[in-house]
Structure 1
Protein backbone atom coordinates (compact mmCIF):
# COMPACT_ATOMS: atom_id res chain seq x y z
CA UNK A 1 0.00 0.00 0.00
CA UNK A 2 3.05 2.23 0.04
CA UNK A 3 3.82 3.43 -3.48
CA UNK A 4 6.82 5.65 -4.26
CA UNK A 5 6.91 6.65 -0.60
CA UNK A 6 3.20 7.44 -0.51
CA UNK A 7 0.43 5.35 1.08
CA UNK A 8 -1.94 4.47 -1.80
CA UNK A 9 -5.50 3.19 -1.36
CA UNK A 10 -7.76 3.87 -4.35
CA UNK A 11 -11.56 3.49 -4.31
CA UNK A 12 -13.05 4.26 -7.73
CA UNK A 13 -16.80 4.37 -8.35
CA UNK A 14 -16.91 3.65 -12.10
CA UNK A 15 -15.38 0.89 -14.17
CA UNK A 16 -13.45 3.40 -16.27
CA UNK A 17 -11.89 4.88 -13.14
CA UNK A 18 -11.10 1.43 -11.78
CA UNK A 19 -9.35 0.28 -14.95
CA UNK A 20 -7.35 3.50 -15.12
CA UNK A 21 -6.38 3.24 -11.45
CA UNK A 22 -5.31 -0.37 -11.87
CA UNK A 23 -3.22 0.44 -14.93
CA UNK A 24 -1.55 3.51 -13.47
CA UNK A 25 -0.86 2.12 -9.99
CA UNK A 26 0.04 -1.45 -11.03
CA UNK A 27 -1.78 -2.36 -7.85
CA UNK A 28 -3.83 -5.25 -6.52
CA UNK A 29 -7.60 -5.55 -6.67
CA UNK A 30 -9.71 -5.71 -3.53
CA UNK A 31 -13.33 -6.85 -3.72
CA UNK A 32 -14.79 -8.82 -0.79
CA UNK A 33 -11.38 -9.22 0.83
CA UNK A 34 -12.23 -12.64 2.27
CA UNK A 35 -9.31 -14.28 0.45
CA UNK A 36 -7.11 -11.20 0.00
CA UNK A 37 -6.40 -10.39 3.64
CA UNK A 38 -6.01 -13.97 4.97
CA UNK A 39 -3.46 -14.65 2.20
CA UNK A 40 -1.26 -11.85 3.56
CA UNK A 41 -0.82 -13.47 6.94
CA UNK A 42 1.06 -10.97 9.11
CA UNK A 43 2.48 -9.09 6.11
CA UNK A 44 1.28 -5.72 4.88
CA UNK A 45 0.22 -5.36 1.22
CA UNK A 46 3.28 -4.59 -0.88
CA UNK A 47 1.41 -2.85 -3.70
CA UNK A 48 -1.21 -0.11 -3.99
CA UNK A 49 -4.77 -1.31 -3.35
CA UNK A 50 -7.57 -0.69 -5.87
CA UNK A 51 -10.82 -1.24 -3.96
CA UNK A 52 -13.60 -2.01 -6.48
CA UNK A 53 -16.45 -2.51 -4.00
CA UNK A 54 -18.15 0.75 -5.06
CA UNK A 55 -17.88 0.27 -8.84
CA UNK A 56 -21.45 0.52 -10.11
CA UNK A 57 -20.97 -1.51 -13.30
CA UNK A 58 -19.90 -4.57 -11.29
CA UNK A 59 -23.12 -4.77 -9.29
CA UNK A 60 -26.10 -7.07 -9.66
CA UNK A 61 -27.27 -10.17 -11.47
CA UNK A 62 -29.21 -9.57 -14.68
CA UNK A 63 -31.22 -11.72 -17.06
CA UNK A 64 -30.72 -11.18 -20.78
CA UNK A 65 -32.36 -12.98 -23.71
CA UNK A 66 -29.33 -15.23 -24.29
CA UNK A 67 -27.52 -15.30 -20.93
CA UNK A 68 -27.41 -14.47 -17.25
CA UNK A 69 -24.83 -11.90 -16.21
CA UNK A 70 -23.40 -12.15 -12.70
CA UNK A 71 -21.60 -8.89 -11.98
CA UNK A 72 -18.00 -9.05 -10.85
CA UNK A 73 -18.98 -7.45 -7.55
CA UNK A 74 -21.98 -9.72 -6.86
CA UNK A 75 -21.74 -11.49 -3.51
CA UNK A 76 -22.70 -15.05 -2.67
CA UNK A 77 -25.65 -13.81 -0.62
CA UNK A 78 -26.94 -11.86 -3.61
CA UNK A 79 -26.67 -14.96 -5.77
CA UNK A 80 -28.50 -17.11 -3.20
CA UNK A 81 -31.37 -14.59 -3.05
CA UNK A 82 -31.57 -13.95 -6.80
CA UNK A 83 -34.62 -15.34 -8.70
CA UNK A 84 -32.77 -17.75 -10.97
CA UNK A 85 -34.04 -20.85 -12.84
CA UNK A 86 -33.52 -24.30 -11.39
CA UNK A 87 -30.39 -25.01 -13.43
CA UNK A 88 -28.72 -22.68 -10.88
CA UNK A 89 -29.76 -24.85 -7.91
CA UNK A 90 -26.32 -26.49 -7.79
CA UNK A 91 -24.54 -23.13 -7.81
CA UNK A 92 -26.80 -21.81 -5.06
CA UNK A 93 -26.12 -24.92 -2.99
CA UNK A 94 -22.39 -24.36 -3.51
CA UNK A 95 -22.80 -20.71 -2.44
CA UNK A 96 -24.31 -21.82 0.87
CA UNK A 97 -21.20 -23.94 1.53
CA UNK A 98 -18.73 -21.09 1.05
CA UNK A 99 -17.61 -20.12 4.54
CA UNK A 100 -20.07 -18.63 7.01
CA UNK A 101 -22.99 -16.30 6.31
CA UNK A 102 -20.67 -13.38 7.07
CA UNK A 103 -18.25 -14.57 4.38
CA UNK A 104 -21.13 -15.04 1.93
CA UNK A 105 -22.22 -11.46 2.61
CA UNK A 106 -18.79 -10.09 1.67
CA UNK A 107 -17.16 -12.60 -0.67
CA UNK A 108 -17.76 -12.25 -4.40
CA UNK A 109 -18.33 -14.89 -7.05
CA UNK A 110 -15.62 -13.32 -9.21
CA UNK A 111 -13.17 -13.29 -6.33
CA UNK A 112 -13.66 -17.01 -5.77
CA UNK A 113 -12.76 -17.64 -9.40
CA UNK A 114 -9.75 -15.32 -9.40
CA UNK A 115 -8.43 -16.99 -6.26
CA UNK A 116 -8.33 -20.21 -8.33
CA UNK A 117 -8.17 -22.67 -5.46
CA UNK A 118 -8.44 -26.32 -6.60
CA UNK A 119 -11.00 -26.74 -3.81
CA UNK A 120 -13.18 -23.74 -4.77
CA UNK A 121 -16.77 -24.87 -4.22
CA UNK A 122 -18.24 -22.71 -6.97
CA UNK A 123 -16.12 -23.83 -9.90
CA UNK A 124 -17.68 -27.27 -10.65
CA UNK A 125 -21.19 -25.79 -10.60
CA UNK A 126 -20.18 -22.95 -12.93
CA UNK A 127 -18.36 -25.36 -15.24
CA UNK A 128 -21.53 -27.45 -15.42
CA UNK A 129 -23.37 -24.30 -16.53
CA UNK A 130 -20.85 -23.70 -19.35
CA UNK A 131 -19.94 -20.38 -17.75
CA UNK A 132 -17.51 -17.87 -19.20
CA UNK A 133 -15.87 -14.79 -17.69
CA UNK A 134 -15.67 -11.26 -19.05
CA UNK A 135 -12.32 -9.51 -18.60
CA UNK A 136 -11.87 -5.79 -19.17
CA UNK A 137 -8.78 -3.61 -19.42
CA UNK A 138 -8.34 0.03 -20.50
CA UNK A 139 -8.15 -1.02 -24.15
CA UNK A 140 -10.08 -4.29 -24.57
CA UNK A 141 -12.93 -6.45 -23.33
CA UNK A 142 -12.62 -10.19 -23.87
CA UNK A 143 -14.61 -13.30 -23.03
CA UNK A 144 -12.89 -16.48 -21.83
CA UNK A 145 -14.52 -19.85 -21.12
CA UNK A 146 -14.19 -20.68 -17.43
CA UNK A 147 -12.39 -23.93 -18.25
CA UNK A 148 -9.72 -21.85 -20.00
CA UNK A 149 -9.65 -19.06 -17.41
CA UNK A 150 -8.47 -21.17 -14.48
CA UNK A 151 -5.04 -22.48 -15.46
CA UNK A 152 -3.96 -24.23 -12.27
CA UNK A 153 -3.53 -23.83 -8.52
CA UNK A 154 -3.85 -20.05 -7.88
CA UNK A 155 -3.25 -19.35 -11.58
CA UNK A 156 -5.65 -17.70 -14.00
CA UNK A 157 -5.61 -16.10 -17.44
CA UNK A 158 -6.35 -12.65 -15.99
CA UNK A 159 -3.70 -10.10 -16.90
CA UNK A 160 -2.39 -7.64 -14.31
CA UNK A 161 -4.33 -4.72 -15.85
CA UNK A 162 -7.64 -6.61 -16.18
CA UNK A 163 -10.72 -6.80 -13.99
CA UNK A 164 -13.12 -9.73 -14.09
CA UNK A 165 -16.26 -7.70 -14.74
CA UNK A 166 -18.83 -10.50 -15.05
CA UNK A 167 -19.55 -14.21 -15.09
CA UNK A 168 -21.69 -15.13 -18.09
CA UNK A 169 -23.99 -18.15 -18.10
CA UNK A 170 -25.70 -19.03 -21.42
CA UNK A 171 -29.43 -19.68 -21.27
CA UNK A 172 -29.26 -23.10 -22.89
CA UNK A 173 -30.70 -25.25 -20.09
CA UNK A 174 -32.77 -22.94 -17.85
CA UNK A 175 -35.15 -25.72 -16.78
CA UNK A 176 -32.49 -28.40 -16.31
CA UNK A 177 -32.13 -30.24 -13.02
CA UNK A 178 -28.97 -29.59 -11.04
CA UNK A 179 -27.31 -30.94 -7.90
CA UNK A 180 -24.23 -30.05 -5.86
CA UNK A 181 -22.52 -32.40 -3.39
CA UNK A 182 -19.44 -31.84 -1.26
CA UNK A 183 -17.37 -34.06 1.02
CA UNK A 184 -15.30 -32.60 3.83
CA UNK A 185 -13.94 -33.62 7.20
CA UNK A 186 -17.00 -32.00 8.83
CA UNK A 187 -20.35 -30.62 7.72
CA UNK A 188 -19.65 -26.86 7.62
CA UNK A 189 -16.75 -24.41 7.30
CA UNK A 190 -14.42 -26.95 5.76
CA UNK A 191 -12.12 -27.22 2.75
CA UNK A 192 -13.46 -29.85 0.37
CA UNK A 193 -12.04 -33.32 -0.17
CA UNK A 194 -14.19 -33.77 -3.27
CA UNK A 195 -16.90 -31.69 -4.96
CA UNK A 196 -19.40 -32.69 -7.64
CA UNK A 197 -21.91 -30.66 -9.65
CA UNK A 198 -24.37 -32.20 -12.10
CA UNK A 199 -26.75 -30.57 -14.58
CA UNK A 200 -29.23 -32.76 -16.46
CA UNK A 201 -31.62 -31.55 -19.14
CA UNK A 202 -34.48 -34.03 -19.37
CA UNK A 203 -36.87 -34.44 -22.29
CA UNK A 204 -39.59 -37.14 -22.47
CA UNK A 205 -37.96 -39.20 -19.74
CA UNK A 206 -34.53 -39.22 -21.38
CA UNK A 207 -31.39 -37.18 -20.85
CA UNK A 208 -31.08 -34.62 -23.62
CA UNK A 209 -27.94 -33.00 -22.21
CA UNK A 210 -25.64 -33.79 -19.29
CA UNK A 211 -22.85 -31.85 -17.59
CA UNK A 212 -20.80 -33.38 -14.77
CA UNK A 213 -17.92 -31.54 -13.08
CA UNK A 214 -15.62 -32.57 -10.23
CA UNK A 215 -13.49 -30.30 -8.04
CA UNK A 216 -10.80 -30.73 -5.39
CA UNK A 217 -9.49 -33.81 -7.22
CA UNK A 218 -7.10 -32.05 -9.64
CA UNK A 219 -5.19 -28.77 -9.80
CA UNK A 220 -8.36 -27.37 -11.36
CA UNK A 221 -11.93 -28.66 -11.57
CA UNK A 222 -12.68 -30.95 -14.51
CA UNK A 223 -15.70 -31.80 -16.67
CA UNK A 224 -16.18 -35.55 -17.14
CA UNK A 225 -16.89 -35.42 -20.86
CA UNK A 226 -16.84 -39.20 -21.45
CA UNK A 227 -19.49 -39.68 -18.77
CA UNK A 228 -21.54 -36.82 -20.20
CA UNK A 229 -21.51 -38.52 -23.60
CA UNK A 230 -22.53 -41.82 -21.98
CA UNK A 231 -25.47 -40.16 -20.23
CA UNK A 232 -26.93 -38.37 -23.26
CA UNK A 233 -29.91 -40.27 -24.57
CA UNK A 234 -30.09 -42.56 -21.53
CA UNK A 235 -33.25 -43.05 -19.49
CA UNK A 236 -33.39 -42.03 -15.84
CA UNK A 237 -33.74 -45.54 -14.46
CA UNK A 238 -30.56 -46.73 -12.71
CA UNK A 239 -28.79 -43.61 -13.93
CA UNK A 240 -26.22 -43.72 -11.13
CA UNK A 241 -24.88 -47.07 -12.35
CA UNK A 242 -23.83 -45.52 -15.65
CA UNK A 243 -20.94 -43.75 -13.89
CA UNK A 244 -17.82 -45.92 -13.76
CA UNK A 245 -14.18 -45.56 -12.77
CA UNK A 246 -13.01 -45.06 -16.35
CA UNK A 247 -15.12 -41.89 -16.57
CA UNK A 248 -12.92 -40.26 -13.90
CA UNK A 249 -9.72 -40.47 -15.95
CA UNK A 250 -9.42 -36.66 -16.28
CA UNK A 251 -8.91 -36.41 -12.50
CA UNK A 252 -5.48 -36.35 -10.85
CA UNK A 253 -6.08 -36.35 -7.09
CA UNK A 254 -3.20 -35.87 -4.65
CA UNK A 255 -2.29 -37.03 -1.15
CA UNK A 256 -2.49 -34.24 1.44
CA UNK A 257 -3.49 -33.63 5.05
CA UNK A 258 -7.20 -33.90 4.22
CA UNK A 259 -7.24 -37.18 2.27
CA UNK A 260 -5.24 -39.62 0.20
CA UNK A 261 -5.44 -39.63 -3.58
CA UNK A 262 -7.19 -43.00 -3.61
CA UNK A 263 -9.78 -41.85 -1.07
CA UNK A 264 -10.45 -38.73 -3.14
CA UNK A 265 -10.92 -40.82 -6.27
CA UNK A 266 -13.32 -43.23 -4.58
CA UNK A 267 -15.20 -40.34 -2.96
CA UNK A 268 -15.55 -38.54 -6.29
CA UNK A 269 -17.10 -41.60 -7.93
CA UNK A 270 -19.51 -42.06 -5.02
CA UNK A 271 -20.52 -38.39 -5.12
CA UNK A 272 -21.03 -38.48 -8.90
CA UNK A 273 -23.37 -41.45 -8.55
CA UNK A 274 -25.27 -39.83 -5.68
CA UNK A 275 -25.61 -36.55 -7.57
CA UNK A 276 -26.97 -38.31 -10.64
CA UNK A 277 -29.46 -40.23 -8.51
CA UNK A 278 -30.58 -37.06 -6.74
CA UNK A 279 -31.08 -35.27 -10.05
CA UNK A 280 -33.15 -38.16 -11.39
CA UNK A 281 -35.26 -38.17 -8.21
CA UNK A 282 -36.22 -34.52 -8.82
CA UNK A 283 -37.81 -35.32 -12.17
Structure 2
Protein backbone atom coordinates (compact mmCIF):
# COMPACT_ATOMS: atom_id res chain seq x y z
CA UNK A 1 0.00 0.00 0.00
CA UNK A 2 1.22 3.49 -0.87
CA UNK A 3 0.22 6.29 1.51
CA UNK A 4 0.62 10.01 0.82
CA UNK A 5 -0.36 12.91 3.06
CA UNK A 6 0.07 16.20 1.18
CA UNK A 7 -0.10 19.46 3.08
CA UNK A 8 -1.17 21.67 0.17
CA UNK A 9 -4.09 21.45 -2.21
CA UNK A 10 -1.81 21.75 -5.22
CA UNK A 11 0.27 18.79 -4.07
CA UNK A 12 -2.87 16.70 -3.61
CA UNK A 13 -4.20 17.63 -7.05
CA UNK A 14 -0.84 16.88 -8.66
CA UNK A 15 -0.85 13.45 -7.03
CA UNK A 16 -4.37 12.73 -8.32
CA UNK A 17 -3.31 13.89 -11.78
CA UNK A 18 -0.55 11.29 -11.99
CA UNK A 19 -1.80 8.26 -10.02
CA UNK A 20 -5.05 6.52 -9.09
CA UNK A 21 -5.62 7.17 -5.39
CA UNK A 22 -8.34 6.35 -2.90
CA UNK A 23 -8.98 9.63 -1.10
CA UNK A 24 -9.04 9.33 2.68
CA UNK A 25 -10.39 11.91 5.12
CA UNK A 26 -12.02 10.52 8.26
CA UNK A 27 -11.77 6.95 7.01
CA UNK A 28 -15.18 6.05 8.46
CA UNK A 29 -16.36 4.80 5.04
CA UNK A 30 -13.03 3.81 3.47
CA UNK A 31 -11.91 1.30 6.10
CA UNK A 32 -15.24 -0.52 6.68
CA UNK A 33 -15.64 -0.99 2.91
CA UNK A 34 -12.08 -2.20 2.33
CA UNK A 35 -11.65 -5.88 1.40
CA UNK A 36 -10.19 -8.22 3.98
CA UNK A 37 -6.44 -8.61 4.01
CA UNK A 38 -3.72 -6.06 3.29
CA UNK A 39 -4.82 -2.87 1.52
CA UNK A 40 -3.32 -2.62 -1.94
CA UNK A 41 -4.85 0.71 -2.98
CA UNK A 42 -2.84 3.91 -3.06
CA UNK A 43 -4.19 6.15 -0.30
CA UNK A 44 -4.24 9.96 -0.39
CA UNK A 45 -4.90 11.42 3.07
CA UNK A 46 -6.29 14.96 2.68
CA UNK A 47 -6.74 15.80 6.36
CA UNK A 48 -3.51 17.83 6.60
CA UNK A 49 -4.27 20.14 3.68
CA UNK A 50 -4.35 23.74 4.81
CA UNK A 51 -7.75 25.39 4.32
CA UNK A 52 -9.66 22.18 3.56
CA UNK A 53 -11.61 22.24 6.82
CA UNK A 54 -13.67 24.78 8.70
CA UNK A 55 -16.85 26.82 8.18
CA UNK A 56 -16.66 30.34 6.75
CA UNK A 57 -19.07 32.86 5.27
CA UNK A 58 -18.43 35.32 2.46
CA UNK A 59 -20.41 37.06 -0.28
CA UNK A 60 -23.73 35.39 0.47
CA UNK A 61 -22.31 31.87 0.70
CA UNK A 62 -21.44 29.56 3.60
CA UNK A 63 -18.40 27.45 2.74
CA UNK A 64 -17.89 24.16 4.57
CA UNK A 65 -14.46 22.78 3.82
CA UNK A 66 -14.39 19.22 2.51
CA UNK A 67 -12.49 17.85 5.53
CA UNK A 68 -14.80 19.53 8.05
CA UNK A 69 -16.02 16.93 10.53
CA UNK A 70 -19.58 16.45 11.69
CA UNK A 71 -18.52 17.53 15.17
CA UNK A 72 -17.20 20.78 13.65
CA UNK A 73 -20.60 21.33 12.03
CA UNK A 74 -22.50 20.63 15.26
CA UNK A 75 -20.34 23.14 17.11
CA UNK A 76 -20.35 25.86 14.42
CA UNK A 77 -22.32 29.06 14.98
CA UNK A 78 -24.81 28.88 12.10
CA UNK A 79 -28.23 30.42 11.31
CA UNK A 80 -31.44 28.55 12.11
CA UNK A 81 -31.65 27.40 8.48
CA UNK A 82 -28.79 25.00 9.34
CA UNK A 83 -30.51 23.39 12.34
CA UNK A 84 -31.59 20.44 10.19
CA UNK A 85 -28.03 19.88 9.01
CA UNK A 86 -26.74 20.09 12.57
CA UNK A 87 -29.41 17.63 13.71
CA UNK A 88 -28.34 15.27 10.91
CA UNK A 89 -24.72 15.67 12.01
CA UNK A 90 -25.67 14.40 15.47
CA UNK A 91 -27.15 11.27 13.85
CA UNK A 92 -23.99 10.24 11.97
CA UNK A 93 -22.80 7.09 13.74
CA UNK A 94 -21.41 7.64 17.22
CA UNK A 95 -19.62 10.60 18.77
CA UNK A 96 -16.31 9.01 17.71
CA UNK A 97 -17.53 8.75 14.10
CA UNK A 98 -18.72 12.36 14.17
CA UNK A 99 -15.27 13.42 15.38
CA UNK A 100 -13.62 11.76 12.37
CA UNK A 101 -16.18 11.59 9.55
CA UNK A 102 -16.26 14.50 7.10
CA UNK A 103 -18.95 16.22 5.09
CA UNK A 104 -17.25 15.51 1.75
CA UNK A 105 -16.75 11.86 2.68
CA UNK A 106 -20.48 11.58 3.35
CA UNK A 107 -21.48 12.84 -0.08
CA UNK A 108 -18.65 11.15 -2.01
CA UNK A 109 -19.52 7.78 -0.49
CA UNK A 110 -22.92 8.27 -2.18
CA UNK A 111 -24.88 5.95 0.06
CA UNK A 112 -28.67 6.16 -0.24
CA UNK A 113 -28.67 6.34 3.57
CA UNK A 114 -26.10 9.16 3.90
CA UNK A 115 -27.45 11.21 6.81
CA UNK A 116 -26.13 14.55 5.61
CA UNK A 117 -27.54 14.51 2.09
CA UNK A 118 -31.27 15.26 2.69
CA UNK A 119 -30.43 18.24 4.92
CA UNK A 120 -27.91 19.53 2.37
CA UNK A 121 -30.45 19.17 -0.45
CA UNK A 122 -32.92 21.21 1.60
CA UNK A 123 -30.24 23.93 1.74
CA UNK A 124 -29.67 23.94 -2.05
CA UNK A 125 -26.08 22.83 -1.44
CA UNK A 126 -23.46 22.91 -4.19
CA UNK A 127 -20.21 20.97 -4.43
CA UNK A 128 -16.90 22.71 -5.17
CA UNK A 129 -14.55 20.50 -7.20
CA UNK A 130 -10.90 21.10 -8.10
CA UNK A 131 -8.36 19.37 -10.34
CA UNK A 132 -4.84 20.09 -11.55
CA UNK A 133 -5.75 20.32 -15.23
CA UNK A 134 -9.15 22.04 -15.24
CA UNK A 135 -10.76 25.13 -13.77
CA UNK A 136 -12.55 24.94 -10.45
CA UNK A 137 -16.14 23.84 -11.02
CA UNK A 138 -19.27 23.99 -8.90
CA UNK A 139 -22.00 21.36 -9.22
CA UNK A 140 -25.40 21.23 -7.53
CA UNK A 141 -25.48 18.42 -4.99
CA UNK A 142 -28.55 17.05 -6.77
CA UNK A 143 -26.39 16.64 -9.89
CA UNK A 144 -23.29 15.43 -8.04
CA UNK A 145 -24.68 12.16 -6.66
CA UNK A 146 -25.57 10.02 -9.68
CA UNK A 147 -26.52 6.72 -8.03
CA UNK A 148 -25.55 4.21 -5.36
CA UNK A 149 -21.80 4.76 -4.71
CA UNK A 150 -21.60 6.84 -7.90
CA UNK A 151 -20.81 10.55 -8.24
CA UNK A 152 -19.89 13.06 -10.93
CA UNK A 153 -16.33 13.24 -9.56
CA UNK A 154 -13.58 12.34 -12.05
CA UNK A 155 -10.57 10.30 -10.96
CA UNK A 156 -8.28 13.35 -10.99
CA UNK A 157 -10.71 15.60 -9.10
CA UNK A 158 -11.08 16.40 -5.43
CA UNK A 159 -14.06 17.85 -3.58
CA UNK A 160 -12.76 20.95 -1.82
CA UNK A 161 -15.92 22.32 -0.19
CA UNK A 162 -19.67 22.24 0.13
CA UNK A 163 -21.23 25.63 -0.62
CA UNK A 164 -24.58 26.77 0.73
CA UNK A 165 -26.21 30.00 -0.47
CA UNK A 166 -27.70 32.27 2.15
CA UNK A 167 -31.24 31.26 3.07
CA UNK A 168 -33.99 33.88 3.45
CA UNK A 169 -33.97 35.44 6.94
CA UNK A 170 -36.39 33.63 9.24
CA UNK A 171 -35.99 30.23 7.59
CA UNK A 172 -36.37 27.38 10.08
CA UNK A 173 -35.05 23.88 9.63
CA UNK A 174 -35.60 20.35 10.96
CA UNK A 175 -34.46 16.77 10.40
CA UNK A 176 -36.24 13.52 11.20
CA UNK A 177 -34.66 10.05 11.13
CA UNK A 178 -36.02 6.60 11.85
CA UNK A 179 -33.72 3.68 12.60
CA UNK A 180 -33.79 0.39 14.46
CA UNK A 181 -32.08 2.04 17.45
CA UNK A 182 -30.88 5.47 18.56
CA UNK A 183 -27.21 5.44 17.48
CA UNK A 184 -24.91 3.56 15.11
CA UNK A 185 -27.77 2.71 12.79
CA UNK A 186 -28.44 2.88 9.06
CA UNK A 187 -31.65 4.83 8.61
CA UNK A 188 -34.92 3.25 7.53
CA UNK A 189 -35.90 6.66 6.21
CA UNK A 190 -35.16 10.31 6.94
CA UNK A 191 -36.62 13.69 6.04
CA UNK A 192 -35.26 17.24 6.10
CA UNK A 193 -37.32 20.41 5.79
CA UNK A 194 -36.54 24.10 5.58
CA UNK A 195 -39.55 26.37 5.96
CA UNK A 196 -40.07 30.12 5.65
CA UNK A 197 -43.32 31.63 6.93
CA UNK A 198 -44.94 34.90 5.95
CA UNK A 199 -46.27 37.43 8.47
CA UNK A 200 -49.58 35.54 8.71
CA UNK A 201 -47.92 32.26 9.61
CA UNK A 202 -48.43 30.75 6.18
CA UNK A 203 -45.72 28.94 4.28
CA UNK A 204 -43.95 31.32 1.89
CA UNK A 205 -41.12 29.00 0.77
CA UNK A 206 -40.41 25.34 1.39
CA UNK A 207 -37.67 22.80 0.81
CA UNK A 208 -38.34 19.13 1.67
CA UNK A 209 -36.07 16.19 0.91
CA UNK A 210 -36.10 12.49 1.76
CA UNK A 211 -33.31 9.94 2.09
CA UNK A 212 -33.13 6.13 2.31
CA UNK A 213 -36.23 5.82 0.11
CA UNK A 214 -34.54 5.81 -3.30
CA UNK A 215 -31.12 5.26 -4.80
CA UNK A 216 -30.50 9.02 -4.45
CA UNK A 217 -32.05 11.30 -1.84
CA UNK A 218 -34.86 13.29 -3.44
CA UNK A 219 -36.39 16.75 -3.14
CA UNK A 220 -40.20 16.61 -3.08
CA UNK A 221 -40.83 19.52 -5.44
CA UNK A 222 -44.57 18.94 -5.87
CA UNK A 223 -45.08 18.94 -2.12
CA UNK A 224 -43.00 22.10 -1.79
CA UNK A 225 -45.19 23.85 -4.36
CA UNK A 226 -48.50 22.69 -2.88
CA UNK A 227 -47.49 23.85 0.60
CA UNK A 228 -47.21 27.51 -0.38
CA UNK A 229 -49.89 29.61 1.30
CA UNK A 230 -50.86 26.93 3.82
CA UNK A 231 -50.44 26.91 7.57
CA UNK A 232 -47.86 24.23 8.43
CA UNK A 233 -50.27 22.20 10.57
CA UNK A 234 -52.71 21.96 7.63
CA UNK A 235 -50.26 20.47 5.13
CA UNK A 236 -51.40 17.12 3.73
CA UNK A 237 -48.79 14.80 2.23
CA UNK A 238 -50.22 12.60 -0.53
CA UNK A 239 -48.95 9.58 -2.42
CA UNK A 240 -48.54 11.84 -5.45
CA UNK A 241 -46.16 14.03 -3.48
CA UNK A 242 -44.07 10.93 -2.71
CA UNK A 243 -43.93 9.74 -6.34
CA UNK A 244 -40.20 10.62 -6.77
CA UNK A 245 -39.39 7.97 -4.15
CA UNK A 246 -38.75 4.31 -4.92
CA UNK A 247 -38.15 2.59 -1.56
CA UNK A 248 -36.99 -1.02 -1.50
CA UNK A 249 -37.83 -3.93 0.76
CA UNK A 250 -34.87 -4.92 2.93
CA UNK A 251 -34.04 -6.18 6.41
CA UNK A 252 -34.73 -2.75 7.91
CA UNK A 253 -38.24 -2.34 6.49
CA UNK A 254 -40.50 -2.76 3.50
CA UNK A 255 -40.96 -0.14 0.81
CA UNK A 256 -44.60 0.33 1.84
CA UNK A 257 -43.59 0.87 5.46
CA UNK A 258 -41.00 3.45 4.44
CA UNK A 259 -43.60 5.42 2.48
CA UNK A 260 -45.98 5.40 5.46
CA UNK A 261 -43.23 6.63 7.76
CA UNK A 262 -42.02 9.31 5.35
CA UNK A 263 -45.51 10.75 5.10
CA UNK A 264 -45.52 11.27 8.87
CA UNK A 265 -41.89 12.42 8.93
CA UNK A 266 -42.66 15.13 6.38
CA UNK A 267 -45.47 16.50 8.54
CA UNK A 268 -43.32 16.47 11.67
CA UNK A 269 -40.32 18.06 9.98
CA UNK A 270 -42.44 20.79 8.37
CA UNK A 271 -44.15 21.73 11.65
CA UNK A 272 -40.87 21.59 13.61
CA UNK A 273 -39.06 23.73 11.03
CA UNK A 274 -41.90 26.25 11.00
CA UNK A 275 -41.80 26.57 14.80
CA UNK A 276 -38.15 27.57 14.61
TM-score, length-scaled by structure 1: 0.94
Residues in 1 aligned to 2:141 and 2:24: alpha-carbon distance in whole angstroms: 21
Say what the alpha-carbon RMSD is for the aligned residues.
Answer: 1.2
- Give yes or no for the alignment of 1:131 onto 2:131: no
CA drift at 1:94: 0.3
Residues in 1 aligned to 2:252 and 2:112: alpha-carbon distance in whole angstroms: 13
Residues in 2 aligned to 1:21 and 1:173: alpha-carbon distance in whole angstroms: 40
- Structure 2 spans left out of the alignment, 5+ residues: none
Residues in 1 aligned to 2:157 and 2:170: alpha-carbon distance in whole angstroms: 33
CA drift at 1:174: 4.7
Q: Secondary structure at the match of 2:225?
A: helix
- Structure 1 spans left out of the alignment, 5+ residues: 2-7
Residue pair 1:226, 1:247 contacting (<8 A) in 2 also: yes
Query: Where do 1:238-249 residues align within 5 Å?
Result: 238-239=233-234, 241-249=235-243
Partner of 1:144: 139
Residues in 2 aligned to 1:11 and 1:243: alpha-carbon distance in whole angstroms: 48
Residue pair 1:119, 1:191 contacting (<8 A) in 2 also: yes
Q: Which has the higher helix share?
A: 1
Which of 171, 178, 188 pairs up with 2:183?
188
The alignment of Structure 1 onto Structure 2 pairs a total of residues equal to 274
Residues in 2 aligned to 1:255 and 1:207: alpha-carbon distance in whole angstroms: 34
Residues in 2 aligned to 1:154 and 1:180: alpha-carbon distance in whole angstroms: 23
Partner of 1:17: 11
Which of 59, 66, 71 pairs up with 1:65?
59
Residue pair 1:22, 1:28 contacting (<8 A) in 2 also: no
Q: Secondary structure at the match of 1:197?
A: strand
CA drift at 1:275: 1.3
- Give yes or no for the alignment of 1:270 onto 2:264: yes
Deviations 1:137-189 (A, max 9, x none): 00221100000000111110011111100000000335311110001111221
Partner of 2:157: 162
Which of 185, 194, 197 pairs up with 2:192?
197
Which of 95, 101, 113 pairs up with 2:95?
101
TM-score, length-scaled by structure 2: 0.96
